[in-house]
Structure 1
Amino acid sequence: MGGVANFNEGGYYFEIADKLDISFMIETIKNSQIRVQFDTNFSQHSIKPDGGILFLRKQDDENFKKVLLITEAKRQGTNDERQKEGKKKQATGNAIERLGKNLTGIKAMLNHEKITPFVCFGWGCDFGPNVKSVLTKLNVLNEFYFLNKTYIFKADGNSNFNYFSPVSMYFREKKWEVDEMFDIMKEIAETSLRYYIF
């Protein structure tokens, strides 16, 4: 994945990438000038959200690079299939642990912004309404905000950098259709675009 698309208004354009370099994430935080301590021992690595990243770039400023949308997709749960085959259940939760790692870094990178344009679509039997252990993990990851609801802007808090960062976490048993995901992603990306340029 990767590429660019023209967006002629004001010399802006879109860039799609399949990874977030940790060096970029750290540099983004540094540019906010609200933090000075960083462990850069791992800055040569990257994180790779399953659905990729949409950036807003500017033709006359190579350093202008704003995150419009980060997308994850997680399928978890084969116990329904295993049960049909007469096999024992497996433990639940691996995809959520990987999601938590990426989300922690993304929230840190965007701590100084008023938005966190992140969405995760998850499906599989592990996300059924009766699998409370997995749903609890997701609820904790989303700072005890609701699942299956779109969040873009920071919430609550009482100072410039003391807000909660709920994100859009859509999870269910049934597989997500492309048009369903597109509508949600479009809303997040368009809101982020307005935040940065208006």
Structure 2
Amino acid sequence: MGYSESYPNKEPATPFLNLDQLSALRAVFTEEVTSFKDGMTTLQNALRLFQEYMIGAGKEDAQRQIQDYMHVLNQQMKYVEFFSEVGGAALPTHEILSSALTECREMLHANFAYQVKTVELEPGREVAYYEKAVDYLQQCPDSQVCKTKLAQAHVHMAKLANDDTTAAIEHYVAAIGYDKTLAEVYEKLGQLFQQGGEYSKEASIAKQC
């Protein structure tokens, strides 16, 4: 869309890392569970992700604890499979794990929503940063806090559009769609329309906001 960087580059290694990790965990718990083995596999996959996230200085104790959990879970699965085979009985149904899986899903959903609402947008970042923020913030569409931050993200992207007037207008119009109290945005839109010499389709959209 013709963007160029007009702010100093202050890119950290991984923006929104917590949200990335929570998204990966949520994906694990959205997998269909139709058997006891499926449920155990879901828990194992979640623990593996936790183990990956615990790599780094000061996280050794947490990593060892997760390894212990994984060992216990693996042993539990082996015991159940062994005694089911020896006794000629079927494996337990997945319902036995449904309460734990549901609790994990609900906890992750609540934590994810909280983390999204507490996102603090950094000024002076690249467009990709704000686009990623928008992707996450849009997942809490009923939150006024998220709407305000969505407007801020679009304002940042409009400023990064530089000579791409169409892109700037699109982002300013999107910002007004989330927050109609932004006087600065109306002023910027007026300037852009004036520079263009006539009101475009975007101008009529802005008027309706």
The verdict on a shared fold, with TM-score over 0.5 as the criterion, is no
Compare the two structures and name the one with the higher helix fraction: 2
Higher relative contact order (CA 8 A, sep 6+): 2
**Superposition TM-score, scaled by structure 2 size:** 0.25
**Superposition TM-score, scaled by structure 1 size:** 0.26
Largest Rg, 1 or 2: 2
